[in-house]
A and B are shown apart, each in its own frame.
Chain A
Amino acid sequence: MVSYWKNFFLKNGTAVALFLIISVGVWLFMMIILPQLFMLDFSIRANVPPPKFGTEEHYYTLEHYKYMLFGSAQASGTFNIIDLTVFFRTIAAAIFVTLIDLALCYPIAYYLAHVAIGGWSRLMVLSLIVPFWVNEILRAFAFKIIFGSTGVINNVLIAVGVLDSPYDFIRNDIALWAGLSYAFILLMIFPIYNAVESLDKNQIEAARDLGSSWLRIHWRIVVPHAKPGISSGCTMVFMLTAGALAAPQILGGPSSLWFTQIIYQGFNQAGNWARGSAYAIILLISCIVLVLVIMKIFKVRFGEMMK
């Protein structure tokens, strides 16, 4: 350990090494660890206004976690159906969005890495990136307009004769899924692209030469090779979708609530930071556990994902 740090200083020079250590340290501690610790602390204390912080009324309790499961004390004996439903629906929707992104992005990434050539592939990458110069919230509003009852999609479908009357994409959550899928598409494409791109083209040709169909080439050669990239893409998209707020707020139908919206309400409307914190912690831990379990099932190791 000592020799590692000694080496680190020798390799980078004292000034750079110090800068790296301090900046990374400050970033990690101030921006990530400290806020989470505060949130954890909030979540296991009674909900009191700030002047009473540190007083006897600010005691430790698990009531907010309990609330998530069973609702208020008055309604004892039954589960907190509303919040739990939203929670599981959010997780399921996030998984669904991740799968949509995977299905969309794998072909694109493969195409970019192994089929498109030179200027054409650069143009494609550019056209993938450019829309993200527009602010996330503006993009969500754009989706709302496109999917609206008098939006482009409805107009076209009615003009072509597929629909008689406008279809309510927003109420049926289709606008939301589309918006969320689009929001994190780059985070899926680039890790997969990086992984697929490093595959030796001869491997594909060798499999082809040995009689393999394209489907089998992807299943046996390309996907196993790209697995680390696929899992890091899926992890990022899943985490960010489950934690998304703007898109569900804008594109969500009147009856569909995203779990982050409940957390938001806890902080901003109900004035219940403690419950908001508890819910945020629950979401965070559930997502991490889920990702770890899925990684275990698909035998992906952390080290590989970081490549």
Chain B
Amino acid sequence: MSADVRLEDVWIRFGDFIAAREINIHIQGGEFFTILGPSGCGKTTLLRAVSGFLTPSEGNVLIGGTNMAGIGPNKRPTALIFQNLALFPLMTIWENITFSLEVRGASKQERRNRAEELLELIALPGQGEKMVNELSGGQKQRVAIARALCAEPEVLLLDEPLSALDLKLRQHMRTELRSIQRQVGITFIYITHDQGEALTMSDNVAVMREGVVEQISDGNSIYDEPDTAFVASFVGENNRFDGKVSSVSDGIATVDTAEGTIKARLSANTDSRVSAGDDAFVFVRPEAIQFVNGTAADNRMNTKVYHEEFEGHFWQIFLDIEKSQKRIKMSYVNDGATRVHSRGAELAIGFPAQSAIALPQGALAAE
């Protein structure tokens, strides 16, 4: 069973501080939905409002069409996985997993059986008698998932549950979480500040900044079609050029910057289009930048190599643009033909107007 979650005009205030501002989100049943944002953006607050630990100052939280106002966390069809997991250290693993059944008064035999089923699901069969501190980080992680699933929630809420794990394990757990979600088919709402996690696992991502949802769409669109300057700079690597739009034609804006005139496409979203005379940012992904050899190209720039990093399957170069000394980043796939760019070497680069996007400066203007 999975339920959809709907946040309608949700405001959350703590005194004068506004933690969430006019939030409208509709999460489909069975969806893997991620709320992505830097720390302090209000994403955990939002999750607590869904789980019932916090009552919105205004607006409604609906789960499966039912308004959750006045319904406590113990009565909601949600289960929360805490950032620090919050397993019960004085109980065995099987008691931890089946705590929700104990609450409902299930018999010990029933609980043992259910625990064993869930231990199978999380690939820890027969480990029920162990104590929490006998498990490794990844195992604890999986026990926390099993404990939450045991409550048979319609919505599973995850508050940065992978942040304490090391990189390899984190990547492994991403795949595992995704497959568990497909298996149980319930709605997952996942909170993270890690855009890698957001993009790899989610059906849809909401990007939050200072209590405001900046954009909601699938991972691809978040990356390729950012609606705001904040989304463009927060999700993935991006080079940012500050300038003023001089003209717009055929969906291409011409922006005057300290690095010269840059041509960049307009946003697909009509609300995020710039017009002549606007202050704008132009964003170019490092992988969109190309080497230019004599031939004419859009947005050509002369640069000097500052530093080069080998990342395995790709190279990353930091370049200083001659005209303004602005440092940008480009990357290219390691095709085996080693190209050594020594420090100070001159390098002409360029990028097609279609690979760059011009966006209103919005909230980032002051920075």
- Give me the interface of A with B, judged by CB distance under 8 Å: 200, 202-203, 205-213, 216, 220-221, 224-225
Contact = CB atoms under 8 A, between A and B. Distances in A.
B103 interface: yes
Nearest to B84: A202
A202 B86 contact: yes
A203 B86 contact: yes
Contacts of A208: 53, 72-74
B82 interface: yes
Interface of B: 51-53, 72-75, 78-80, 82-84, 86-88, 90-91, 99-100, 102-104, 147-148, 151
A216 B103 CA distance: 8
Nearest to A202: B86
B161 to A, nearest CB: 12
A210 B86 contact: no
A211 B74 CA distance: 4
A225 B90 CA distance: 8
Contact of B88 (A203, A205, A209, A213): A203
Contacts of A200: 84, 86
28 contacts: A202-B84, A203-B88, A205-B73, A205-B80, A205-B82, A205-B86, A206-B80, A206-B82, A207-B88, A208-B73, A208-B74, A209-B51, A209-B53, A209-B73, A209-B74, A209-B78, A209-B79, A210-B147, A210-B151, A211-B74, A211-B100, A211-B151, A212-B74, A212-B99, A212-B103, A220-B99, A220-B102, A224-B90
Contacts of A211: 74-75, 100, 103-104, 151
A198 to B, nearest CB: 12
A159 B293 CA distance: 103
Contacts of A213: 74, 103
Contact of A210 (B53, B83, B84, B103): B103
Given A210-B79, A211-B104, A213-B74, A205 B99 contact: no
Nearest to B91: A220
A293 B82 CA distance: 39
Contacts of B91: 220
Most buried by B among A202, A208, A210, A220: A210
A206 B86 contact: yes
Contacts of A225: 90
A224 B95 CA distance: 14
Given A211-B103, A211-B104, A202 B82 contact: yes
A210 B100 contact: yes
Contacts of B82: 202, 205-206
A34 to B, nearest CB: 42
A200 B87 CA distance: 10
Would you list the 7 A-B pairs with minimal beta carbon distance, nearest first? A202-B86, A206-B86, A210-B100, A211-B103, A202-B82, A211-B74, A209-B80
Contacts of A220: 88, 91, 99, 102
A205 B83 CA distance: 12
A220 B101 CA distance: 14
Contacts of B74: 208-213
B99 A210 contact: yes
A210 B102 CA distance: 10
Nearest to B90: A224
Contact of B53 (A203, A205, A212, A221): A205
A202 B86 CA distance: 6
A213 B100 CA distance: 11
A221 B73 CA distance: 17
Nearest to A221: B88
Nearest to B52: A209
A209 B151 CA distance: 9
A215 B326 CA distance: 62
Contact of A207 (B51, B52, B75, B99): B99
A12 B133 CA distance: 34
A85 B102 CA distance: 45
A202 B87 CA distance: 9
Contacts of B83: 202
A220 B98 CA distance: 13
Contacts of A216: 103
Given A205-B73, A210-B148, A225-B90, 20 more contacts: A202-B84, A205-B53, A206-B82, A207-B88, A208-B73, A208-B74, A209-B51, A209-B52, A209-B80, A210-B100, A211-B74, A211-B75, A211-B100, A211-B103, A211-B151, A212-B99, A213-B74, A216-B103, A220-B91, A220-B99
B189 to A, nearest CB: 14
Contacts of A206: 80, 82, 86-88
A69 B73 CA distance: 60
B286 to A, nearest CB: 39
Contacts of B52: 209
Contacts of B73: 205, 208-209
B82 to A, nearest CB: 5
A193 B73 CA distance: 26
A205 B75 CA distance: 13
A224 B92 CA distance: 13
Contacts of B104: 211
